[in-house]
Amino acid sequence: MRHSESSLSINSLFLHFLFYFFKEDLYFNRTMETVYRYFPVILLCLSFHLFSYAWCSPMDVYGKVVELVSPGEEYLDEMSVRSFFKLLEKRVQCPGVSCEKCLSVQSVDQLVGNFTSTGGLLHNEGFFRVAAGCCLYLGSPSEACSAVRAGRWGDETDHFIHEITGYDHGDGHGDMESSGIETLLHNLKKHYKPDQQYDQHCLTGQDILEEMNDGGPHNMDVVFGYIVYHALRGDCMTARALPEEDYFLDFIFNSFGSDNITIHGT
């Protein structure tokens, strides 16, 4: 059972427990004495609910990234961001040539406008914006670096988000289905290089979605955050294999029959 399901069931148990006692006492007597008597139970239910929310919060992956690149700190400062980019660039390879290394602290302003003006602290909200831009870099380093040099990393990241999910970044894109993360993982296949120093299980899109403690549609920003987190760790990530070409040919012939297909030459 996933954490989200278990937390819902326990929350329901607490609510039923609370309702039972209030039904027996509050409904008939409606006295403040009843409220005071069960006030600790109310606090316990509310506290557990808030704890469950925090456990599934986007802050979780942000904290993991901070701990990975800057142990003991609470936020990503300029030094942490430099380490972040340096580690990320090590995970990218370009067949036959050296990949460009264009990510810098100065380029963050293209994604998070107030980064340098706020003392170089990359907080939770800004991190997820940068994570989307980094996913663009992991999948297409040359395209991302061209955008960074032209000062258009933010615009190209918005376009990238729209291609992955069908939503514009400024339109409250909201949720992303599993097909979106599969597309994202397919994009990483050509250039992303996991750590080869040890044997490891390759994470699938479903593994990452389950790690986010939610079995339904997912917030797009958090998905990008987890992809970047696993890339920083050097974890193996893989998309579902697409069917071979013969599969599509067999499907066409089985669906329409060879007698109904005519090939016209030019």
Q: What pLDDT digit, counting tens, does each position of 248-257 carry? A: 456 566 666 6
Average pLDDT over the chain, rounded to whole? Answer: 75
Q: Using CA atoms, how far apart are residues 200 and 196, in angstroms rounded to an integer?
A: 9
Only one residue has tokens 């278990």, namely 6
Mean pLDDT lowest for which of 102-106, 134-138, 163-167, 189-193?
Answer: 163-167
Q: Are residues 62 and 102 in the same domain?
A: yes
pLDDT tens for 52-69 read 333 345 568 999 999 999
pLDDT at 246: 56
Contact 49, 11 (CB under 8 A): yes
User: Which residue has better confidence, 256 or 130?
Assistant: 130
Burial of residue 197, with CB atoms counted within 10 A of its CB: 0-12 exposed, 13-18 middle, 19 or more buried:
exposed
**Cα–Cα distance measured from residue 223 to residue 212, given in angstroms and rounded to the nearest whole number:** 8
Note whether 50 and 80 are same-domain residues. no
Residue type, 81: V
Domain assignment present for residue 170? The answer is: yes
Q: Are residues 113 and 46 in the same domain?
A: no
Distance between CA 11 and CA 56 in Å, rounded? 14
Asked whether residue 101 is domain-assigned, the answer is yes
- pLDDT given for residue 188 in this prediction: 92
229 and 155 co-located in one domain: yes
Closest of 141, 139, 120, 128 to residue 65, by C-alpha: 128
- Say if residue 95 is in the same domain as residue 194: yes
Within this chain, do residues 42 and 151 fall inside the same structural domain, yes or no?
Answer: no
Q: Which residue among 27, 54, 81 closes a domain?
A: 54
Report the alpha-carbon distance of residue 148 to residue 109 in Å, rounded. Answer: 10
Res 239: pLDDT: 86
Given this model, what pLDDT does residue 160 score?
95
Same domain assignment for residues 206 and 220: yes
Within this chain, do residues 188 and 205 fall inside the same structural domain, yes or no? yes
Residue type, 261: I
- Answer yes or no: is 104 within a domain: yes
Q: Would you say 50 and 39 are in contact if contact means Cβ atoms under 8 Å apart?
A: no
What pLDDT, on the 0 to 100 scale, is given for residue 196?
74
Long-range contact list for 65-73, CB < 8 A, 24+ apart? 65/127, 65/225, 65/228, 65/229, 65/232, 68/229, 68/232, 68/233, 69/232
Model confidence at 51: pLDDT above 80: no
Domain total for the chain? Answer: 2
In a domain, 255, yes or no: no
Write out the residue range of the structural domain in which residue 93 sits: 57-233
Q: Which is more confident, 54 or 137?
A: 137
Looking at the DSSP assignment, which residues form a beta bridge with residue 175?
219
Residues sharing a CB contact under 8 Å with residue 105, sequence separation 6 or more, in sequence order: 78, 81, 82, 85, 115, 116, 120
Clarify whether residues 133 and 207 are in a common domain.
Answer: yes
- Asked whether 43 and 50 are in contact (CB, 8 A), the reply is no
Query: Max alpha carbon distance in the chain (Å)?
Result: 90
Distance separating alpha carbons of residues 14 and 119, to the nearest angstrom:
45
- pTM of this structure: 0.68
Whether residue 69 is found in the same domain as residue 180: yes
**Same domain, residue pair 88 and 200:** yes
Is 251 contained in some domain? no
Positions of E strands within 21-169: none
Do residue 172 and residue 82 come from a single domain?
Answer: yes
In a domain, 256, yes or no: no
Question: How sure is the predictor about 130, in pLDDT bands with cuts at 50, 70 and 90?
Answer: very high
Query: Looking at the domain assignment, is residue 124 inside a domain?
Result: yes
Q: Dump pLDDT digits (tens) for 175-228.
A: 455 677 888 999 999 999 998 776 778 999 989 988 887 534 457 889 999 999
Q: Inter-axis angle of helices 141-149 and 124-139, to 10 degrees?
A: 120
